[in-house]
């Protein structure tokens, strides 16, 4: 497995991560990486539910 390298800018870093993750998914069993995905997705849902902002308020903040 290759090491994840930072990019020169945000776009390059994101592309490096996509390539890293694609290789990880190809070289590891579904059970291993799908558990990691579940943890990530569940934590994002939990965090979203705990937010005090409405979706409209959030979008207004995002525009600033």
Domain span at 51: 10-63
Q: How confident is the model at residue 60 (pLDDT cuts 50, 70, 90)?
A: confident
Cα–Cα distance measured from residue 22 to residue 2, given in angstroms and rounded to the nearest whole number: 11
Q: What is the mean pLDDT of residues 50-64?
A: 81
Tally of structural domains, the chain: 1
In a domain, 46, yes or no: yes
SS3 label, residue 3 = coil
Residues 7-44 have pLDDT tens digits of 899 999 999 999 998 999 999 999 988 998 999 999 99
Distance (Å, whole) CA 23 – CA 19:
6
Place of tokens 């390059």: 12
pTM value > 0.75: no
> Is residue 48 pLDDT above 90, yes or no?
no
In a domain, 2, yes or no: no
Residue 64: is its pLDDT beyond 80? no
């Amino acid at each position: 497995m290759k090491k994840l390298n930072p990019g020169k800018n945000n776009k390059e870093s994101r592309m490096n991560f996509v390539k890293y993750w694609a290789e990880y998914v190809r070289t590891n069993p579904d059970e291993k990486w799908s558990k990691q995905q579940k943890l990530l997705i569940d934590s994002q849902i939990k965090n979203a539910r705990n937010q005090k902002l409405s979706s409209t308020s959030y979008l207004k903040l995002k525009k600033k």
